Amino acid sequence: MGKSRTYTCAQRPCKRRKRPVYLKFSHDSLRIFGRAYNPLFRKPRLAGFVQKREGGGGEEEEKEGEEKEEEIEHLNKTHSQRQQNSNLSSMNFFPSKAKPKSYLEKLQSRLSGGRFRMLNEKLYTSSGDEAFKFFKEDPSAFDCYHEGYQEQMSRWPSQPLDVIINWLNKHSKHLTVADFGCGSGKLAKSVKNQVFSLDLVATDETIIACNMAHTPLNSHSIDIAVFCLSLMGTDYPSFLAEAHRVLKNGGTLLIAEVRSRFDPKNGGADPTQFIKALGGLGFSCVNKDFSNKFFVVFEFSKHRVLKNSKKCEWPALKVCIYKRR
């Protein structure tokens, strides 16, 4: 048993007595708060409830044993109930993340968060060629971008990439896939299909580093082209034209994008105009899913050879800015 000390109940007097109740218990019994607690360093969670009192306990304290036990039991129940409730609400909204502990860690986290947002904006406001050149000169920026991106995505209740993976799992594993803007190449690792993973930087040997407006893939060689949150460049129509080139006739184009980019009421593109522009490129819309609050998914089928693509009126897709946390 630990050292015995006396603590006084400052804000919650016993129901039958007006004076505060004096509690006597060891350090071990402070686990009544659901975790080891050192009263010398922090105030207890239940604000101001327990205060340290110098010296040992008196006779009066000994007599009040039963009341103390009741009190402790009551506290135990209340506290564990509170903990349960708070765990539930944090599970519902944000997965519990260990918070940075030191000031330095907080500062580092802010700096990398700031760099992530700068890189994110750069990707949305550059052409594919500019972005390719930028990351070629500084591949470490790509790691920083993806760290920040993963952090942001961990806050989303469901992942658009999982929708794509589910879609592929429901179709033949013999279909060949091209993942345009694959990031870390998770899609290729999650399905049985042959997947050509394309991105500005190859973080491993399975990824082809290129600007996806000009891929090394053969024409009419792919069954499914995937764009998962990757229509980022200012020249995004050229990425879709490239997908059209590499897809076989009758092939499928899957696009998952941030929902706000297709919300005309808030400066986003009109989905109808987007579908029409893709129609001009040679795709017909088979399905569109706006059921998720965070992202939308379009499914298109390649129906004919590309003609007069320059005549398509492409809506501008707004920059997607992640909020500072």
What is the rounded CA–CA span in Å between residue 123 and residue 128? 8
Query: Nearer to ligand SAM by C-beta: 72 or 202?
Result: 202
Helix, strand, or coil (residue 58): coil
What is the rounded CA–CA span in Å between residue 274 and residue 288? 12
Query: Nearer to ligand SAM by C-beta: 229 or 254?
Result: 229
Query: Nearer to ligand SAM by C-beta: 50 or 200?
Result: 200
In whole angstroms, the minimum distance from the beta carbon of 145 to ligand SAM comes to 7
Residue of this chain nearest to ligand SAM (CB atom): 181
Tell me the DSSP string of 245-292: HHEEEEEEEEEEEEGGGG-GGGTPPPHHHHHHHHHHHTEEEEEEE--S
Query: Nearer to ligand SAM by C-beta: 38 or 218?
Result: 218
In whole angstroms, the minimum distance from the beta carbon of 200 to ligand SAM comes to 4
Are β-strands 4-9 and 22-26 bridged in parallel, bridged antiparallel, or unpaired? antiparallel
Query: Contact 263/318 with Cβ under 8 angstroms?
Result: no
Query: Nearer to ligand SAM by C-beta: 212 or 269?
Result: 212
What is the number of residues in the chain? Answer: 325
What is the rounded CA–CA span in Å between residue 164 and residue 41? 50
In whole angstroms, the minimum distance from the beta carbon of 182 to ligand SAM comes to 5
In whole angstroms, the minimum distance from the beta carbon of 41 to ligand SAM comes to 42
Residues found near ligand SAM in the complex (CB under 6 A): 123, 128, 131, 149, 161, 181-183, 186, 198-200, 211-212, 228-230, 232-233
What is the rounded CA–CA span in Å between residue 316 and residue 18? 70
What is the rounded CA–CA span in Å between residue 228 and residue 211? 15
Query: Nearer to ligand SAM by C-beta: 57 or 113?
Result: 113
